[in-house]
Structure 1
Amino acid sequence: MPYNQFKKGELYSFITGKASTAISRRLQKNFKEANVEITIEQWSVLYHLWKEDGLSQQQLCDATFRDKPSITRLVDNLEKLQLVKRVSSKNDRRMNMIYLAPEAKDLEEKTIELANQTLNEALEGVTIEQIEIAKLVLQKVYDNLK
């Protein structure tokens, strides 16, 4: 028995990322205006490496919810920008560990500040209680389908 109170198209559009897409577009715009020349997808990889440097490509897949070909392409492009470097794992030479280059470390503070600014823009007029409800609902949706 369906419990949603939306028309099916509205609910599907919302859950599949209408808000997420709008936030990503605004963050990309804010990056461009600040002369940060990376994509949101590249930034998401860097973000996880800032949290823990030296992750495997599989760990980056898991952290960013992307498939292996996508992560390989993103890491290739980040290498070309000299923001990361691949190093063969000491334990398993078939596995590459991804490490931040010094230039990427320099981007961390600026891009995190831009991300916080973007979230503040997105959440203007939204109460803490509404945010908590949204988090609970979206977590439940995710858990139902995991």
Structure 2
Amino acid sequence: MNNKNNEYFGRYISILYRQSSVFYSKEFHKFGIGAGQYMFMIHLYKNDGISQEKLSELINIDKGTTAKAIKKLEELGYVERNKDISDKRVNKIYLTEKALEIKDEFLASLTKWEDILTSNLSDEEILYGLKILNKLTKNVSKN
């Protein structure tokens, strides 16, 4: 495609990423959770007890980064790492009572960002945008 308007997906994706990082940093600061940990919390709320390796795959982040983020969340008291009973090489990650206590407020912040992001879009535009973003994600996942 010859792009004469100098409009690029990457530019807008970058802006959205930076703005979401600023938003989430402010929202989750009160919990001590930083930009490097909130994505793990989101997926742990949906998949409590998941293995550390599966969590890495789910988020599409390398194992080292996952280990660091989980260690930080463990230090903050939000998760516990336990060895799998059937395979001692596997760490399962479980949310603590402290994590469950902030769950509603934490998830409300995610909804707040979605509301900001989609505030002037119709339902059709939202669905179309999600379809496009899904395709873009699949394109880069192939590389």
**TM-score band (shorter)?**
0.7 to 0.9
Give unmatched runs, 5+ long, in structure 2.
none
State the AA in 1 paired with 2:26: K
Using the aligned pairs only, state the percent identity: 25
- State the superposition RMSD in angstroms: 1.9
Structure 2 residue 9 is the aligned partner of structure 1 residue 7 = no
Which of residues 23, 39, 53 is equivalent to 1:26? 23
Give unmatched runs, 5+ long, in structure 1.
none
Which of residues 9, 26, 45 is equivalent to 2:40? 45
Structure 2 residue 79 is the aligned partner of structure 1 residue 80 = no
Structure 1 stretches of at least 4 aligned residues deviating more than 4 Å after TM superposition:
3-6
Query: Displacement, 1:6?
Result: 5.2
Aligned partners of 1:118 and 1:80: how far apart in 2?
Answer: 27
Structure 2 residue 88 is the aligned partner of structure 1 residue 93 = yes
Which of residues 123, 128, 131 is equivalent to 1:128? 123
Aligned partners of 1:130 and 1:4: how far apart in 2?
Answer: 23
- Verify the 8 A CA contact 2:80 2:93 in the aligned structure 1: yes
What TM-score, normalized to structure 2? Answer: 0.86
- Verify the 8 A CA contact 1:23 1:119 in the aligned structure 2: no
State the AA in 2 paired with 1:115: L
* Inter-CA distance 75–4: structure 2 relative to 1 (3 Å threshold): same
Compare 88-97 and 23-32 and name the one that shifted more: 23-32
Aligned partners of 1:5 and 1:128: how far apart in 2?
Answer: 30
What TM-score, normalized to structure 1? Answer: 0.85
Aligned partners of 1:60 and 1:5: how far apart in 2?
Answer: 41
In the alignment of these two chains, the number of paired residues is 141
